[in-house]
Amino acid sequence: MLGVERNASEDEIKKAFRKLARQHHPDLHSEADKKKVAEEKFKEAGEAYEVLSDGERRQKYDMFGHAAAGQGGGPQGFGGGGFGDVFGDIFEDFFGGGRGRSRAEQGNDLQYNLEISFEDAINGKEAKLKIPRWEVCGTCKGTGAKSNQSVKACSACRGAGQIRLQQGFFTINRTCGQCQGAGKIIADPCKSCRGQQRVHKERMLSVTIPAGIESGMRLRLSHEGEHGINGGPPGDLYVALKVKPHPHFIRKGQDILYDRRLHFVTATLGGKIEVPTLTGTTVVKIPEGTQHDQILRLKGLGAQGLKSQGKGDQLIRIKIEIPTKLTPHQREILNAFGEENGVDTENQGEGLFDKVKNLFD
């Protein structure tokens, strides 16, 4: 009846029913014969959905077919198995009915985009945020009225918030147009919020940025979003973090990478150099024969992990620096070095200096 596969999901079944219900709704057909056919189709679709939306009845239907679906006096009416919710949605689509404003509504979630420094992401910090949001009016306490005496029951719906209408063979509750579903009329609105129950304010918040946070992460502050309506709970505030790039360091998980240019003589003979860290400068020993792109590691000078107690390391990536100009004496020394190591500097098409440079590149 619904045109779905045997293994269809609940969402697929609901979607198929909604499509058929809209297509065959009796009130969309004016001619008597077409209206009668539509009523039958509409009823069949409703009965099919009534069975398949109930897990136990669907299981019996899968095993025994229509015989099982009809047990217990046939369909139980438009109410069980979640049928009322999807049917109510269809009524709203056709007739504008819906849930009145008197129902409690949760406030909206908010997002605040915060840019922090590389160091603050590594070490953590306390940040002060100014959040614009809708808050419950302090004057009327969210009633929207100047006083309790200013609130009167709506005369059109008698305080119900809905008006009952007859649509074909259905009785439909439609939102009251006079009170917009609130069930009450405010004769004298609150001057602070003008009857809107909420006012727009800025709130100062202190947010803890945990050590080790990374760009793209979000912090969730429960109930710090916009206040709800009619006593509804507030939403949440999400702080989306963006970390500024550092001029020297690159984050690699919990490790911090630092590129250090090194003269090829120091790389060849070894030595000591000073390198910056997030806690100051430190002296690093360069082993003899250090290669281009070789990684030296400083233990524990990286970033704190959000889910671990330990810290990462600082990685020093060596970039061999080749001089671009040589004096005649320096060239003589390098030629002698090449000859001693079996390098013909005159007949191989490129000088020793070029060979050394290409080697490191």
Pairwise pLDDT comparison (48 vs 133), residue with the higher score: 133
The rounded percent of the chain whose pLDDT value lies above 70 is: 81
Per the structure, the complete domain to which residue 143 belongs is given by 110-243
Tell me the pLDDT tens digit for each residue of 70-89: 544 333 334 444 454 555 55
Tell me which of 63, 95, 127 is where a domain ends. Answer: 95
Whether residues 207 and 267 fall in one domain? no
Is residue 101, in this structure, part of any structural domain at all?
no
Q: What is the pLDDT of residue 170?
A: 64
Q: Is the pLDDT of residue 97 over 50?
A: no
pLDDT category of residue 68 using cuts at 50, 70 and 90? low
Q: Is residue 192 in some structural domain?
A: yes
Residues 266 and 351 reside in one and the same domain: yes
Domain membership of residue 269 (yes or no) is: yes
Question: What rounded mean pLDDT belongs to the chain?
Answer: 82
Q: Do 175 and 219 reside in the same domain of the chain?
A: yes
- Mean pLDDT on 28-39: 75
Of the listed ranges 84-93, 207-216, 307-316, the one predicted with least confidence: 84-93
pLDDT recorded at residue 361: 53
- For 250-299, write each residue's pLDDT tens digit: 999 999 999 999 999 999 999 999 999 999 999 999 999 999 999 999 99
Same-domain status, 78 and 142: no
Q: Which one of 213, 243, 273 terminates a domain?
A: 243
327 and 254 assigned to the same domain:
yes
Say if 127 falls within a structural domain: yes
Q: Is residue 1 part of a domain?
A: no
Residue 201: both structure tokens together: 């304010």
Lookup: tokens for 132: 């614009």
Q: Are residues 119 and 74 in the same domain?
A: no
Q: Rounded CA gap, 296 and 317, in Å?
A: 6
Determine the Cα angle at 38 with ends 50 and 16, to 5°: 45
41: enclosing H helix or E strand = helix 32-52
Residue 355, domain member (yes or no): yes
Decide if pLDDT at 304 tops 70: yes
Rg (CA), the chain: 37
Q: Can you give the pLDDT at residue 159?
A: 82
Per the domain annotation, does 100 fall within a domain? Answer: no
What pLDDT is stored for residue 1 in this prediction? 85
Does one domain contain both 195 and 295? no
Residues 289 and 168 grouped into a single domain: no
Q: Which amino acid is residue 296, in one-letter code?
A: L
Q: Say whether both 213 and 317 belong to one domain.
A: no
CATH, residue 36: 1.10.287
Both tokens assigned to 335 = 């030629």
Q: Where are the alpha helices (DSSP H) in the chain?
A: 10-23, 32-52, 55-64, 66-69, 83-95, 118-123, 264-269, 328-340, 352-360
Instruction: Specify the CATH number for the domain of residue 304.
Output: 2.60.260.20
Looking at the structure, tell me whether residues 259 and 239 fall in a common domain: no
Helix (H, G, I), strand (E, B) or coil at 330: helix
Model confidence pLDDT, tens digit, residues 121-179: 999 999 999 999 999 999 999 888 999 888 888 888 888 888 887 666 666 777 888 88
List the structure tokens of 142.
């969210």
Q: How many domains does the chain have?
A: 3
Considering the domain architecture, whether residues 40 and 60 belong to the same structural domain is answered as: yes
For residue 105, being part of any structural domain is answered with no
Backbone angles phi, psi at 174, to 5 degrees: -115, 145
> Among 205-209, 230-234, 304-308, where is mean pLDDT lowest?
304-308
Q: Are residues 72 and 196 in the same domain?
A: no
The whole-number pLDDT of residue 71 equals 46
User: Domain boundary at 243, 262, 291, which?
Assistant: 243
pLDDT digits (tens, 9 = 90+) for 209-237: 999 999 999 999 999 999 998 888 999 99
